[in-house]
Each structure stands twice: as C-alpha cells, then as structure tokens.
Chains A and B, each alone.
Chain A
Amino acid sequence: MLFKLKCLFLFRLILNRCKKKPFLSFKTSFPLIAHLHVKKRSVAKSTRRKVSIVRSAQRSNLQFLVSLVFSFFISSVSAQSIELSAGANRLDYQIGVAYGHRWNHFHLIPKLEFGVTSTVAQRRVFPRMSIASSYLFVKKESLDFGPEVVYALSRQKLTNQGKTAHYWNELYAGYRLQVGRKLKFVHSANGGWINESFFSELLKKRVNYSSLGIYVQIGVSYTF
C-alpha cells in the first residue's frame, strides 16, 4: 500500500512537470533537462563537454519516459494475482501457474503450464507457455466477465533424436469468468486456431498442419 502511494506521488510529480512542459513536446522539454544537467555539473565550456551533456540529457529523457510509463501502470493497478489452473485443448491436459496483472478492466495473464500427454499418469510432461489478455467489462464486487484472447506455445520432443521436437501454436478467442473476491474461481473457454509444426526428416524441411481447436480451463486465483 505504501509502495503504491509512493508510486502515485511520483506519478503526480511527473504529471505536474508535464503540465509545465507537456510530454508531447519532447523536443521542447529536451533543453530544460539539458539545462538542469549543466547546472548540476557546473559550467561546461568545451565542445566535447557539450556533447557529453547532450548525451546525458538524452539518457535523462529516456529515463523520464520509462518512469512515466512505469508510474502510469503502477498508479493504475487495481489488482495482481496468482492463479492455479487446469486446462484442456484438443491435444492434451495442462496444469499451470500464472501471474495476473490487472489495470481496471484490462487483465493480462502470462502463464507457464506443464502439459501431460493424455492422462495424469503419463510419464512425459512438456512445457506450455501462454499469454492471455482479457477485457473484463462486467466488473461487479464478486463477479468479473469479459472477452479473452489467448496465445499459447508448447513444445514436445517425441523421440530422443535431434530435430524431432513438435511445436504447437495456439491462438484462441473466447470469454473469461471470475467469481469471488480475494480468492476467485476462474473459468475461461476459447475457440480458435491450432498449428502443429515440426521438422520432417523425410522431406528435410519444416512442415505445418493447422486445424481448429478449443481451450477450456478452470482454476483458482488469489488477488493481492
């Protein structure tokens, strides 16, 4: 909470500064920052010194830009969460851990999952990484709902030879539902495109096979 307040204070400071020198006029704000550096490091008279001041000012401008973006995100964060979920697509079941970041209605969830081929008793697991983005336009006290877009990439090596890894790219659109306050029940259902890609030893080239697929997941998330 204290961290959030500090961030908000920083953001206000930057905003105030922007009021004096609007951020859009990047070029006009440049001499001001350059001037500040000149004052701080005493007077620079040689050309070489001036070049160094200009570079330093450029770096300052970049830092200013980054801090502005960072502060904007931090100040508008309404929730962060950790999510445990189990999902299934046309090919497999997956169990995953995700970190969710939410800015008002907008929700971004990078996720690392472990796929299990067909059954939990399977002895081979494989990694699956996904990123989901949802816009939760229904935002009530204990209910969130909205459309979701998911991209996932998984990789599995079928044999022990060199180039036999199969990659699956999945791109889905669907909905996301969250029920609860701090501890939420999470459900999402998506449909879309699935692509299997691998290097064919027979054709000596990479081949791609695409189809339509679905992805359904349920889980729990804890908001902090």
Chain B
Amino acid sequence: MYKSGLAILFSFTIVVLPSCGKKESFGNIEILGHGGNGLEIINALYHDNSLESIELALLTDGCDGVELDVRLSADGTLWLFHDKELDDSSNGQGCVETSTDSYLSGLHYATVDQEKLIRLKDIPKSYLANKKVYIDGRSSISCTNSTADMTNFINELLYFQASCLSSTEIIVESRNDQWEAAIAAAGFTTIKFVTDFEQYSAIVAAVPTVDIIVATNETITKENVTQIHNDGREVIIFGMRSAKSTRAAYSKNPDGILADNLRTAIIERN
C-alpha cells in the first residue's frame, strides 16, 4: 500500500511538474489553422481542407484564420484539395484540375468520417468575419504536367473576395512567379514560400511585390525574421507539431504561424 502511494505521487509529479515552468506570452502572433484544423496530424478530428475541419478551426476562440489549399477544376471552380492527385487521400482518381465539378462533388476523403471535398465558396462567409484566409494557390497539374489557367484562377479568387464580408482578409500564395505578380496586380496581399533563407534575396529580387514570406520553422532563425521585418515584410512560420517547436517558432517573433496542432498553438500563445 505504501509503495502504491509512492507510485501515485511519482506519476502525479511527472505530469504536474512540467506545467510549472515560466510562461511567456506571444499574444500579438496570429494563428492560422493549417488546412483548417491541422494538416496530416493524427490528433486533428477531421481531414484537412474539409468543411468540418475549417468550421471547427474558425469557431475555436483564439484562431485568427485558416490556410486553404486551392485548385482550379476543369469547370473553372476553386476546390479545396492539398494533394497533387485525388487518389492520394480521397476515393477519386486523377487530378482536381482534370475533373469536372459534378465528379468532384461526389468524392470524399478516405477517412473514418468520409468528409466531402468542398469548393472554396462552400465555406460559410459569416464564419470568416474578422478572420484571415490564407489561400495556397496550386498552379501545377501533375496529371498533365502543365499549369492551371491563371486568369480563371484569379477571377475566381476575386469573386470569392467579393462574396466575403469586408472584415475578411484574403492573402494568396503561389509558387509560380508569374502568378505571384498577377495576383499582386489583382490587389491581393501576396505570400512567397522560401525553402531556404539563402534564396530570400534572389526571390525578393525576382518578385519585389511580395508582402509576406513563409518558411518552415527549421529553416528560419530569429535573425532572419528580423531581417525580413526590416525589409518591410511579414513572416509566417509553419511546420510545428509539438508544443516545444511551437514555442520555438513564437520566440522568433513572426507575424503569424500555420498551426497543425491548433489547440497547442493557442495554449502556448497565451
């Protein structure tokens, strides 16, 4: 009995002691749910880019917006889908870009909840009030090894922006430099992904209109973030799963993060 008591005390100490650390506050950093409530993470209740996942993220207090992966269908409609091909994570075949709207509307993700694939315009606009929508515009079509129709894509984005409330801010990323310039010309805040900070100067020189730099937590330092800020640009960091890596990202003082573990990100920010 004495030993059992000691064992209980020991277990309790292991759990409670880590919670006694000094807490910093990072209240000014925006949290955007990556793909809604998290991308490819085991403890997200729903599949990324599904309506359930996006709604859950947007309604969670402390979440400032969502990141969405957008592709243009063969009928010229913007659909939310992260992977290159449909059979990577859904019950469909081929690519979003080569599929019709009627085909895509009958598909669901290969998960226990079988969440349906949705269009960008299916997201309730009221849920986006005072939120930021980070659109990752996917331009390449892996099935045909070609590029999606840029004009159509930007026009669809403009229709979506017009349908949103004025308090909703839309920011757009494209890995295609030509698209980036056209998106900036259309009046959107633009984002550029930097895989390695050594490329930063070259990227900025190629696309000077870029407003926000996005980088993984592993490839960017606090000094890099300061340098980007000094250039008058914002920084968004992603690629954090654990609480420890989330805290590390916050300590670099970015303007925002893409959170895969939304709950952890919100808790750690406060």
Interface residue ranges, A against B (CB under 8 Å): 82, 84, 90-92, 95, 97, 114, 116-125, 156, 158-161, 164, 166, 194, 196, 198, 200-203, 207, 209, 211-212, 220, 222, 224
Our pick among A82, A91, A160 for the contact of B8 (Cβ within 8 Å) is A82
With contact pairs A156-B263, A159-B61 given, residues A95 and B15 touching in the complex (Cβ less than 8 Å): yes
Tell me if B60 and A119 are in contact (CB < 8 A): no
Q: Is the interface of B mostly helix, strand, loop or mixed?
A: helix
User: Please, which residues of chain B bring their CB within 8 A of the CB of A161?
Assistant: 61
Asked if B222 CB lies within 8 Å of chain A CBs, one says no
Tell me if B43 and A164 are in contact (CB < 8 A): no
Q: Which of A95, A118, A159 has the most CB of B within 10 A?
A: A118
Q: Give the interface size class of chain B.
A: 35 or more
With contact pairs A117-B267, A119-B243, A156-B263 given, residues A84 and B8 touching in the complex (Cβ less than 8 Å): yes
How far is it, in angstroms, between the C-alpha of A92 and the C-alpha of B45 when the chains are bound?
A: 12
User: Please, which residues of chain B bring their CB within 8 A of the CB of A209?
Assistant: 45-46, 52, 55-56
Tell me if A82 and B242 are in contact (CB < 8 A): no
**A104 CB to nearest B CB, Å:** 24
Tell me if B45 and A121 are in contact (CB < 8 A): no
Among B18-26, B68-76, B200-208, the stretch that binds chain A is: B18-26
Our pick among B1, B20, B127, B270 for the contact of A202 (Cβ within 8 Å) is B127
Asked if B42 CB lies within 8 Å of chain A CBs, one says yes
Tell me if B113 and A212 are in contact (CB < 8 A): yes
Tell me if A92 and B11 are in contact (CB < 8 A): no
Tell me if A224 and B15 are in contact (CB < 8 A): no
Tell me if A202 and B113 are in contact (CB < 8 A): no
With contact pairs A95-B14, A118-B242, A124-B267 given, residues A158 and B19 touching in the complex (Cβ less than 8 Å): no
What residue in chain B is nearest A92 (Cβ atoms)? Answer: B43
Tell me if A159 and B264 are in contact (CB < 8 A): no
Q: Which of B10-57 contact A (CB under 8 A)?
A: 11-12, 14-16, 18-21, 23, 42-43, 45-46, 52, 55-56
How far is it, in angstroms, between the C-alpha of A161 and the C-alpha of B270 when the chains are bound?
A: 10
How far is it, in angstroms, between the C-alpha of A24 and the C-alpha of B207 when the chains are bound?
A: 88
Other contacts beyond A118-B242, A118-B264: 9, CB < 8 A:
A97-B11, A123-B18, A123-B19, A124-B243, A158-B62, A158-B267, A159-B61, A166-B263, A198-B61
